[in-house]
Copies of this chain bind each other. A is one copy, B any other.
Amino acid sequence: MGRTSNAKNQLLDAMVLLMWERSYGSLTIDVICEKAEVKKGSFYYFFKSKLDLGIAAMDHVWTQIQPRLDATFSPSRPPLERLARKLQEAYERTQQVAAEHGCVLGCPFFNIGAEISTIEPELADKVNQMLSRFQRYFEATITEAVANGDIPEMDTKEATRILFNLYEGMITQARMKNDPEILKDLPVAAARILRIQQLPEISVA
């Protein structure tokens, strides 16, 4: 009952895009409303502040990302192949996003986290929560690889932290240099961290 609307979703979509393409601090309510094609009155009907929308936007983008992660890290393939595919996908998708948006954008969580961690604790918590979820995909993969004997015995939590931070560091560098090619180092880097010669080759498609 009552009037229907998808203004809330338009606001969430616009916020995700703007935070990814620009930054959090550079956004104003007016800019967000314009991008969302929603009037300011409606903004304040659904959200009480930019911070409120920003936090909701992080949950929103996760629901878009999670299915892709589930597919890429699907246990239907052996762990090292999953990892190799993820790293390959990171490179290809970075190129694709750069073509669509005009420049490399990197990881929406990591960028925002680096920006706001000291000034917006609530948003920082939310971002850390999302990054932890993301990291779990790597951890599950590495744990299984050790269990399979695909890689030597090692502290899997430690290896996960190292690989994950490397991954985020490289993607952020790719954004800063606006150069997807930086991500070509990822497979070599992962192999070294996991103490193997190289990750498995992956067949096309």
Contact = CB atoms under 8 A, between A and B. Distances in A.
Interface in A71-129: 103, 105-106, 110-111, 113-119, 124, 127-128
B26 A119 contact: yes
A200 B124 CA distance: 36
Interface string A132-148: 00000000000000000
Contacts of A105: 118
A118 B169 CA distance: 17
B169 A172 contact: yes
Contact of A193 (B106, B127, B193): B193
Given A162-B192, A185-B158, A23 B169 contact: no
B110 A172 contact: yes
Given A162-B188, A185-B162, A188-B162, A117 B175 contact: yes
Contacts of A25: 23-26, 115
Contacts of A168: 169, 172-173
B119 A22 contact: yes
11 contacts: A23-B115, A25-B115, A26-B119, A103-B118, A114-B175, A162-B170, A162-B185, A165-B182, A166-B169, A168-B169, A189-B193
